[in-house]
Chains A and B, each alone.
Chain A
């Protein structure tokens, strides 16, 4: 059986998992259902518990409460070496005393695979990551990107049920990161492996994953496709964590029977949403803000302000516009020769109502 033969992908279910280090609760009530063959990302800041969760799936760290099911088999009580869950470590963890060939062969040797089969499978795995000609090198003779590929080959060669990647790109430089991320995705699609990818970089998670879970303080904040999460964050944390955003806090008051968000400084913003809560924030992305629009927009969220700052970002120009006591960020597409607004210039900002969200958490 060749490596590239698609194995039957597995489903991973995590049910009410709690993990504590001593008295510190690192994960609380994690529930997840990862589809067979899915490329899933755990996204969160450092200390959010994302790596702990990944390590728990591999069987490392304190034993979790709750259940972790691979195709309905609970693996929580299984030793790490019996789980058949392949993990690529953040620092690659290549054994320096073994050659590339020996590193990759290790898992097969542990499984008592016949010698001849080991050498063909190692060759195949190294071929898949494009390192067939470096088999006799030692890890210290490889570049960071090559080490990463060896770690990947070492893991996939055992045909694991799951592939776990712990911040696999964080030690690579920017160009290599983009290349590697494409390669990993291609490989995952080819093998059809259910894969979990841990990262703190939202761009990485966006580009590579089918779905992702955003974690903070040991709790899953939201699960969904990258676009869903970006467009419909359910709370302040997710909105902030996934890209630049405008968030205006205020109290919900009723003016002439219509709901209005009143900021601390007294600014009143119309709320088109039926809000139950008494306090909350409206959220919209900077690129949804039109500065001095020439077209008429059918929106009642119009703000007058003064340009306070501008940053040139290449494809866009980002203005900081002072409206009352708050600063609204607005991004305009940039084209050669397009006029820019200057500091202290008065502008009108229009935000289409369908681009605005109201969050209470």
Chain B
């Protein structure tokens, strides 16, 4: 245990940082939303104005509609995949589990434009449909496009949570129902699905949150009548003092918090797993011949759908001209040459920002984890709660908060407002990705037995030496995993970045992709940048899993 004074000192520093860069900016946004812009008095008039304006009403319902439909479509993709892998002895299971995670390594806005070339009204699919059947399906028209892109990218949240829930159901739950005369779909509806419901809800809430908050995808698909784009456009075109951006921010935060609350309630409150006794997972069956064929067809169809953003992005990045044709006219390396030649700045900025943010995140997370788990500091749980709460703050909101809070704060020496200094981008990335690193580090520290520390102290090591020589090395796997996850996801963060980039020379990859993708000529290089980002994230995710696995093995030999 850290000495009383030191632990309070460390805790105060952590709390101070969270206060300045998370609580105050968000609080400021909320405060301004309730403030009369001319008199400064507290009022609800801004909200009244918001709901009086038809564009905002429309945006509000569009955002709800998109988020709700994304959950629905994502469920339609995830349910069969989860069911097949958990119910049947099925060779394709591993394929599904692996490929099902792939969408997560690419943020939706990256693939959005490429998807339009694939599914748009003049895209590959519709050209083929028109040729064969004379029909045109508006997959990407208006809100449809946002829904398609979001659900394809975020269905893994449902797949992962639902599969885990199904695998945790005690075998005897199903047997007891059969014993009492239930079978087939009825049994599934009355027993299996309700038991897996918490897992499904946890995943569905996350999909809702992600789709509701997303800024980049609607902007790139040129769908502006949604909440997040409206907030961005109000602030960037009318200015930082326009109250509507703040009202929208409050609405975004409220819905995000609600979705997150549902997700936590679902996954924590009702743990239906058998408590370790008995066999877990559904009764597995073998599939008959035609069932197998049908299952494979469905799964291959879904996987193609899921991989379509990646496939179209690859085509776009290597294609010369791709317009009114099923495939690009010819293939070239020119876009990559261009990207590495002229826009190397985006890549180096990204490595610098994401690297700094992730390093900060793990140091901060180790400290928070240690204070929360190993000290008796009063209110220490709140460090965890607040840092995790960053999950519920959309990037747009954090960006607006920083602009509002730090615009008047001049950084000494460079004499520039903090809000327009590149470091603020790093801070925003760090805050946004802190929850990921924190989860990894807390889990790692949970596995380090207190007795290992006590043994070191018993042999004469001081507090600092114990943390440095025993605790941190034992947490290494979790720390590295936390670093890599934070790094990989920070590298493709767009919404906060979009608000905070003031000079092109300070901009990271995600911003570059966004800028390129907006012009027809820039799509090729944009896709090339996008693919580079995907590779970075994929490699990072692989490393994270590798280190988590290694850490688990090490812990297993220790306790085993």
Query: Is the beta-carbon distance between B176 and A81 smaller than 8 angstroms?
Result: no
Is B195 touching A96 in the complex (CB atoms < 8 A)? yes
Complex CA gap A74/B175 in Å reads 21
Cβ A93 vs Cβ B175 within 8 A: yes
Q: B5 near A: Cβ within 8 Å?
A: no
Please, which residues of chain B bring their CB within 8 A of the CB of A347? Answer: none
B518 CB within 8 Å of chain A: no
B10 nearest CB across to chain A (Å): 39
What residue in chain B is nearest A87 (Cβ atoms)? B179
- Residues in B with CB closer than 8 Å to A82 are 181
User: B180 at the A/B interface (Cβ < 8 Å)?
Assistant: yes
The answer, yes or no, to whether B183 is at the interface (CB within 8 Å) is yes
Known: A93-B173, A110-B186. A58 touches B179 (CB 8 A): yes
Tell whether A179 is near chain B: CB-to-CB under 8 Å: no
User: Does the CB pair A97–B172 fall under 8 Å?
Assistant: no
Instruction: Give residues of chain B (275-304) contacting chain A, Cβ–Cβ below 8 Å.
Output: 277-278
Is the CB–CB distance between A81 and B178 below 8 Å?
yes
User: Smallest CB–CB gap between A233 and chain B, Å?
Assistant: 32
B170-199 CB mask vs A (1 if < 8 Å, else 0) is 101101111111110010001100110100
Q: Smallest CB–CB gap between B229 and chain A, Å?
A: 40
Q: How far is the CB of B187 from chain A (nearest CB, A)?
A: 8
- How many Å from the CB of A61 to the closest CB on chain B? 10
CB distance from A219 to the nearest CB of B (A): 25
- Judged by a CB distance under 8 angstroms, whether A154 is at the interface is yes
Inter-subunit contact B272/A91 (CB<8 Å): no
B172 pairs with A91, CB closer than 8 A: yes
Query: Taking the nearest CB of chain B, how far is it from the CB of A179, in angstroms?
Result: 22
The reply to whether A106 and B179 contact each other, CB–CB distance below 8 Å, is no
Interface flag for B270 (CB, 8 Å) = yes
A90 touches B272 (CB 8 A): no
**Is B170 a contact partner of A91 (Cβ separation < 8 A)?**
yes
The answer to whether A81 touches B173, judged by C-beta atoms less than 8 angstroms apart, is no
Cross-interface CB contact of A87 among B176, B186, B197, B274, cutoff 8 Å:
B176
Binary per-residue interface labels of chain A (59-77) against chain B in the complex, 1 for a CB within 8 Å, 0 otherwise: 1100000000000000000
Contact among A89, A96, A111 with B175 in the assembled complex (CB-CB below 8 Å): A89
Q: How far is the CA of A111 from the CA of B186 in the complex (A)?
A: 12
1/0 per residue, CB under 8 A from B, across A80-110: the answer is 1111111101110111111000000011001
Q: Mark A25-44, 1 if CB is under 8 A from B, else 0.
A: 00000000000000000000
Q: Which of B170, B176, B197 contacts A97 (CB 8 A)?
A: B197
A93-B172, A97-B272 known; A80-B179 Cβ under 8 A:
yes
A81 CB contact (under 8 Å) in B181, B190, B191, B195: B181
A111, closest chain B residue (CB): B181
Interface bin, chain B: 20 to 34
In the docked arrangement, what's the CA distance between A96 and B278, Å? 16
A154: chain B residues at CB < 8 Å are: 176, 180
Pick from A58, A81, A85 the residue with the most CB of B within 10 Å: A81
Given contacts A90-B278, A93-B172, contact A106 B183 (CB under 8 A): no
A354 within 8 A of B: no
Q: Which of B182, B195, B197, B272 contacts A106 (CB 8 A)?
A: B182
Is the pair A89, B172 in contact by a Cβ cutoff of 8 Å?
yes
Nearest CB of A to B284, in Å? 13
Scoring B175, B180, B270 by chain A CB atoms within 10 A of each residue's CB, the highest score goes to B180
Contact of A60 with B170 at beta-carbon distance under 8 Å, contacts A81-B183, A91-B278, A154-B180 already known: no
Query: B180, A158: Cβ atoms under 8 Å?
Result: yes
Closest CB in chain A relative to B168 CB, distance in Å: 12
Residue of chain A at shortest CB distance from B186: A110
Query: Once the chains are docked, how many angstroms separate the CA of A52 from the CA of B277?
Result: 17
Which DSSP category, helix, strand, loop or mixed, fits chain A's interface?
A: loop
A98 to B197, CA, bound (A): 13
Is A175 interfacial (CB-CB < 8 Å)? no
Q: Which residues of B contact A111 (CB under 8 A)?
A: 181
A79 interface residue, CB < 8 Å from B? Answer: yes
Q: Which residues of A contact B186 (CB under 8 A)?
A: 110
Say yes or no: B272 contacts A81, CB within 8 Å. no
How many A-B pairs have beta carbons closer than 8 Å: the answer is 77
Among B172, B175, B180, B194, contact of A107 (Cβ-Cβ < 8 Å): B180
The count of chain A contact residues (Cβ–Cβ below 8 Å) is: 28
Could you tell me if A95 and B179 are in contact, using CB atoms closer than 8 angstroms?
A: no
Q: Does A110 contact B181, Cβ atoms closer than 8 Å?
A: yes
Per a CB cutoff under 8 Å, which of A60, A84, A86, A95 touches B195? A95
Q: Which chain A residues border B274 with CB–CB below 8 Å?
A: 91
Q: Which residues of B contact A79 (CB under 8 A)?
A: 178, 183
Tell whether, in the assembled complex, residue B179 and residue A86 are in contact, meaning their CB atoms are under 8 Å apart. Answer: yes
Q: Are B181 and A158 in contact (CB under 8 A)?
A: yes
Which residues does chain B contribute within 8 Å of A98, judged by CB atoms? 194
Given contacts A80-B175, A91-B170, A91-B172, contact A110 B195 (CB under 8 A): no
Q: Does the CB pair B181–A107 fall under 8 Å? A: yes
- Determine whether the beta carbon of A96 is less than 8 Å from that of B182: no
List of B residues within 8 angstroms of A155 by Cβ: 179-180
Q: Which residues of A contact B190 (CB under 8 A)?
A: 106
A91 touches B179 (CB 8 A): no
| Smallest Cβ-Cβ distance to A151: which chain B residue | B176
Tell me, in angstroms, the Cα distance from A89 to B274 when the chains sit together: 13
Which residues, 124 to 171 on A, are CB-close (under 8 Å) to B? 154-155, 158
Is the CB–CB distance between B170 and A93 below 8 Å?
yes
Tell me which residues across on chain B come within 8 A of A59, comparing CB atoms. Answer: 178-179
Residues of B within 8 A of A96 (CB): 195, 270, 272
Q: Is the CB of A106 within 8 A of B180?
A: yes
Minimal Cβ-Cβ distance residue in A for B195? A97
Residues in B191-244 with C-beta less than 8 Å from chain A = 191, 194-195, 197
User: Residues of A contacting B182 with CB < 8 Å?
Assistant: 81, 106-107, 110
Shortest CB distance B218–A (Å): 37
Chain A residue numbers with a CB within 8 Å of B176 are 87, 89, 93-95, 154
Q: In the complex, which residues of chain A have a beta carbon less than 8 angstroms from the beta carbon of B172?
A: 89-91, 93
A84 contact set on B, CB distance < 8 A: 181
Given A90-B278, A110-B186, A95 and B181 contact (CB-CB distance below 8 Å): no
CB of A275, distance to nearest CB on chain B (Å): 47
Bound CA span A86–B180, Å: 7
Q: Are A85 and B179 in contact (CB under 8 A)?
A: yes
Q: Please, what's the 1-or-0 string for A184-203, where 1 marks a CB less than 8 Å from any CB in chain B?
A: 00000000000000000000
Q: Which residues of A contact B191 (CB under 8 A)?
A: 95
A324 to chain B, nearest CB (A): 45
Task: Tell me the bound Cα distance from A111 to B180 in angstroms.
Answer: 9
> In the complex, A89 Cα to B272 Cα: how many Å?
17
Closest 10 CB pairs of A and B: A107-B180, A93-B172, A93-B176, A110-B181, A80-B178, A81-B183, A97-B194, A89-B172, A87-B179, A110-B182
Chain A residues in contact with chain B, CB under 8 A?
58-60, 79-87, 89-91, 93-98, 106-107, 110-111, 154-155, 158
20 additional contacts (CB under 8 A) given A90-B277, A90-B278, A97-B195: A59-B178, A60-B175, A60-B178, A80-B175, A81-B181, A81-B183, A91-B277, A93-B175, A93-B176, A95-B173, A96-B195, A96-B270, A96-B272, A97-B194, A97-B197, A107-B181, A107-B182, A110-B181, A110-B186, A154-B180
Chain B residues within 8 Å of A, Cβ to Cβ: 170, 172-173, 175-183, 186, 190-191, 194-195, 197, 270, 272, 274, 277-278
Query: 8 pairs across A/B with beta carbons < 8 Å?
Result: A58-B175, A80-B175, A82-B181, A93-B176, A95-B173, A95-B191, A97-B194, A107-B181
